[in-house]
């Protein structure tokens, strides 16, 4: 590594000038902080090895200067006068190690090996991230409808700020993609983007997930673990379905937003974090406040700027672009000049009501790409429910046939059941819950309809 060594003790200057090269490093020796800062203005270094107290400028000043131009520079402090204040400063600037003089050369060698290992891990992570970005590309909102034009303009307006953003929209409209677009267009784009679904975590674990915990803080906490706030430090934290956050956690989240500090479970010391909060919900937060389910003060904190995402049924002109974009995930080698969807297929897609929004469209397109052996995708490659939107042919289920008169009660009932199953992608428990009937009743009705169909 390229190491900058700064210390006003001449004996140490001579020692490090000889020993660090023997360990395989390139070293620049400086007698004080002013000289060290001048050296930083000429070139970058991988690691700083600095004394805390030096004439003119101290070690913390040198570290601060290095971090300004190259944030990933590592630092090790050597000092003969340790203090609480200097230790706090070392933590603030994320110093790799803090050593009290005199220290053994072998101890320093081990620390430098640790720095080199950490830098190699960081390089691998950056390389993997770069490869992932090339594969997935930057978050791009597909669609040129007037509704999406408004959304894109609002993203461009709010992204450069540090304001909290609340994204509203139905399930499946792409709220996380909007959050990622805000992050990618912000000044934090090179820092982490961390997403968490507040409704998917068990209530007894969500505090640990967000804030971290110390070893032994609760049963099963076998090691200290940092939380997502610390992982997202310097970047953005996306809290999806924030309306599902338990009331007790809402108060703790409010404190973080007000103070910029978190406290791990089982710890007494607070940790400063720099995180931009982007939230999303499909629920009406104002009604939840009225019902006592959500804190009003937290609602105001997370809703500095609001973006409303339109459902897919209100921007059907975007469906051809979206469908083709999604299809290329499964067929990445298709030339851009090829027609992927037949005109009749696009008409069928645009005629659908899309209760599941873009997520449902993605499932439909995937289904079609599996069945289609030769382009373009035809209507028969779409899921069965699309053929049932048009006058049926023989062999289709009788409860949805075209009739000249009104449907019977049994036919209306079966139509409601099949529509609920379609909305929940075939999940009978979810369909039964939506219809307000027991799972056993749902099975009985489906079995009865099957029996009637066979005897018809």
Same fold, 2-125 and 313-455: no
d(CA 77, CA 90): 8
Which whole number is the average pLDDT over 136-157? 85
- How high is the pLDDT of residue 401? 41
The helix (H) or strand (E) run that includes residue 68 is helix 59-69
CATH topology of domain 2-125: Rossmann fold (3.40.50)
Which whole number is the average pLDDT over 115-134? 74
83 or 70, higher pLDDT = 70
Which residues in 269-286 are b (16+ Cβ under 10 Å) and which e?
eebebebbbbbbbbeebe
- How high is the pLDDT of residue 331? 86
Q: 211 pLDDT exceeds 80?
A: yes
DSSP strand pairing (225-226 vs 97-100) = unpaired
Class of the domain covering 146-310: alpha beta
Tokens of 330: 């499964």
Tokens of 418: 């099949």
Quick one: CATH architecture of 313-455? Orthogonal Bundle (1.10)
With residues binned 3-state (H G I as helix, E B as strand, rest as coil), the percentages for the chain, rounded to 5, are 50, 15, 35
> What is the four-CA torsion angle of 371, 176, 228, 230, rounded to 10 degrees?
130
Strand stretches in 31-137, DSSP E: 47-51, 74-79, 97-100
pLDDT range class, residue 132, cuts 50, 70, 90: low
* pLDDT above 70 coverage of the chain, percent: 89
* pLDDT above 90 coverage of the chain, percent: 53
Domain range summary for the chain, segments of one domain joined by +: 2-125, 146-310, 313-455
d(CA 379, CA 242): 38
Lowest mean per-residue pLDDT among 156-165, 396-405, 435-444: 396-405
Share the mean pLDDT of the chain.
86
Which whole number is the average pLDDT over 158-175? 95
pLDDT range class, residue 127, cuts 50, 70, 90: low
Pick the most confident of 47-56, 287-296, 441-450.
287-296
Tokens of 145: 């409808």
Q: 97 pLDDT exceeds 90?
A: no
Q: 393 pLDDT exceeds 50?
A: no
d(CA 137, CA 143): 16
């Amino acid at each position: 590594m390229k190491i900058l060594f700064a210390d006003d003790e001449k004996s140490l200057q001579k020692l490090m000038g000889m020993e660090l090269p023997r360990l395989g490093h390139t070293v620049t020796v400086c007698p004080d902080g002013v000289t060290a800062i001048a050296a930083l203005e000429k070139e970058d270094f991988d690691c700083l090895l600095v004394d805390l107290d030096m004439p003119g400028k101290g070690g913390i000043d040198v570290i601060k200067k290095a971090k300004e131009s190259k944030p990933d520079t590592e630092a090790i402090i050597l000092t003969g006068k340790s203090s609480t204040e200097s230790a706090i400063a070392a933590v603030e600037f994320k110093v790799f190690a803090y050593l009290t003089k005199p220290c053994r050369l072998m101890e320093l060698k081990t620390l430098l090996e640790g720095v080199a290992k950490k830098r190699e891990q960081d390089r691998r992570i950056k390389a993997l991230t770069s490869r992932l970005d090339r594969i997935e590309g930057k978050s791009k909102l597909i669609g040129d409808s007037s509704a999406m034009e408004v959304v894109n303009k609002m993203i461009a307006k709010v992204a450069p700020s540090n304001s909290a953003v609340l994204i509203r929209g139905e399930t499946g409209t792409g709220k996380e993609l909007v959050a990622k677009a805000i992050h990618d267009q912000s000044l934090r784009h090179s820092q982490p983007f961390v997403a968490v679904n507040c409704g998917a975590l068990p209530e007894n674990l969500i505090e640990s997930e967000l804030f971290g915990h110390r070893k032994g803080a609760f049963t099963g906490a076998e090691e200290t673990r940092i939380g997502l706030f610390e992982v997202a430090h310097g970047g953005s934290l996306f809290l999806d379905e924030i309306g599902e956050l338990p009331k007790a956690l809402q108060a703790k989240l409010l404190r973080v937003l007000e103070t910029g500090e978190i406290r791990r479970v089982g710890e007494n010391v607070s940790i400063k974090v720099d995180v931009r909060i982007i939230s999303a919900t499909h629920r009406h937060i104002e009604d939840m406040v009225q019902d006592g389910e959500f804190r009003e003060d937290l609602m105001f904190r997370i809703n500095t700027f609001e973006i409303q995402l339109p459902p897919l049924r209100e921007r059907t002109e975007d469906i051809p672009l979206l469908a083709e974009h999604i299809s290329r995930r499964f067929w990445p080698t298709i030339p851009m000049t090829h027609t992927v969807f037949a005109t009749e297929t696009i008409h069928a897609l645009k005629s659908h009501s899309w209760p599941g929004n873009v997520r449902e469209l993605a499932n439909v397109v995937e289904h079609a790409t599996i069945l289609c052996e030769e382009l373009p995708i035809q209507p028969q490659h779409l899921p069965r429910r699309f053929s049932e939107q048009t006058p049926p042919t023989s062999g289709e289920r009788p409860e949805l046939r075209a009739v000249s008169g009104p449907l019977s009660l049994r036919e209306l009932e079966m139509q409601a059941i099949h529509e609920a199953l379609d909305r929940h992608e075939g999940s009978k428990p979810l369909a039964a819950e939506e219809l307000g009937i027991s799972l056993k009743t749902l099975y009985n009705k489906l079995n009865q309809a099957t029996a009637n169909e066979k005897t018809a």
